Each structure stands twice: as C-alpha cells, then as structure tokens.
Copies of this chain bind each other. A is one copy, B any other.
C-alpha cells in the first residue's frame, strides 16, 4: 500500500505487526497463524516470535504464543508522562463524582476514537472498554464531536471512508444523515448519542480545546435511569464544559513549563 522511502526499516513494521497480530479475537497464535496474518514467511514469523519471547513480550508453551503483561510497558510511558491523559485524570475523577457517572477522554485516530483515559464509577456496570480501546468514531458521541470540529476537507475524507454498521434500531442510517448530524454537533458544540451503538446507552460529549488546538473529546455516559435528554444537557453540559476548560488550561500550563 504505502510507499516505502529509503529510510524505511521494514523490520520495525514487522515487529509491530507481530505484536498487533494478537488482537482481541486472537489471544494465542501459532507460528503459521502469525505468518499468515501478517503475510511473511513462516521462518520470518518464527524469528520474530522467538526474539519477542527472549525480550519478554511474548511467552510460549512450545506451540502457541501469547502476549505477556509486559506489552503494557510500551503504552505505559505514554500514560505516565505529562500527556493529556495524565493531566486529565483528576478532572475526570472530579466530574465523575459530581455527576455520579462514568467519564472518559478520547482522541481521534483515523476512523476510530481511542480511549486515553477513563474513570468508571464502580457502582455502575458500564460498557467494558478500557484505555487503548477503539470504537468507530461515527457511532459515538466523542467521535462525532472530534470529526465535527475537523476542517471541511478532513471531515469529508472521514465521511468517504466511513463504513456505517447498523448496530441498533436507532443507529444513523446514511452518510448524509451523519453529515447533517455533524453540522448540528459543530453548531451546538456538543453531541448526544443515544442507543446507536448499544441499547440503553447514552453518551454526551464536548470538545476539549486549548485555544485553537483540539486536544480531544470528553464524555459522560448517561445511565438509562436518568431523566430525558433536555434536562441531561441542561444539567450536565455546564459542568462538562468547565471540566474541558480545566483540562485544557492545566495541559497548556504544564507542558509549557517543560521546554
């Protein structure tokens, strides 16, 4: 697909490909399965697998390979730095307490939203997403906020690549319908998505802006028991906007302090 400039290190791509071959549906893989999954020879797959075992990122019973917890190291450095999730956590916690709901922060990565921080209310059993998880952007409140705020060209490119799936009866049906919804979201500055991805689940999201830079989107999952949409936005939006502002200020202040 992509061009391969002369500085390109193919082995780096393969290394990551091997690690990513172990996705949610494929916990344990054999040499042959990995070779097929990432389109390399069996010998090559084996070399990479054995190397990653040596490095401690994979383990094997002699036949199948699986990831070890050490793979978490790679993302942990991102989470622990003075990055957005780290800065946002206390604010998301405060908001989670004030609203007694689950709060989350996402960024846009290609066609997906990527959870970078999430404070779940242990009292509720909410959706089983954790940090690093992806959801299709078009079907989520955070995704719609993030796409709506994109420049026109990028937004249209997103729409052209979007693959709408009919999750529930309320899921948006067409690209045109989605485009109209995005216009509304951009105009009002927030998005409420009700039961489009999952029955009985409503998400309310606002953008997190630092000046003109869009840092991410902030979300509150609204439990089914809660009152109607009108009062939800009335009640929650001001607090969410204040939280978004707090995160942005804090992020700018702290990162500016570093050189």
Which residues of A approach B to under 8 Å, CB–CB? Answer: 2, 5, 7-9, 11-16, 18-20, 22-24, 27-28, 46-48, 50-52, 54-57, 67-83, 85-86, 89-90, 93-94, 96-97, 107, 109-110, 114, 116, 119-123, 125, 128, 130-134, 258
Considering the chains assembled together, what is the distance between the CA atoms of A125 and B55 in angstroms?
35
CB < 8 Å neighbour of A27 from B14, B81, B90, B93: B81
Considering the chains assembled together, what is the distance between the CA atoms of A7 and B71 in angstroms?
21
A109 and B7: CB pair below 8 A?
no
The interface residues of chain B lying within 8 Å CB-to-CB of A55 are 12-13, 16
Considering the chains assembled together, what is the distance between the CA atoms of A109 and B56 in angstroms?
9
The interface residues of chain B lying within 8 Å CB-to-CB of A131 are 72, 76, 79, 130-131
The interface residues of chain B lying within 8 Å CB-to-CB of A120 are 93, 119
B12 and A51: CB pair below 8 A?
yes
A69 and B78: CB pair below 8 A?
yes
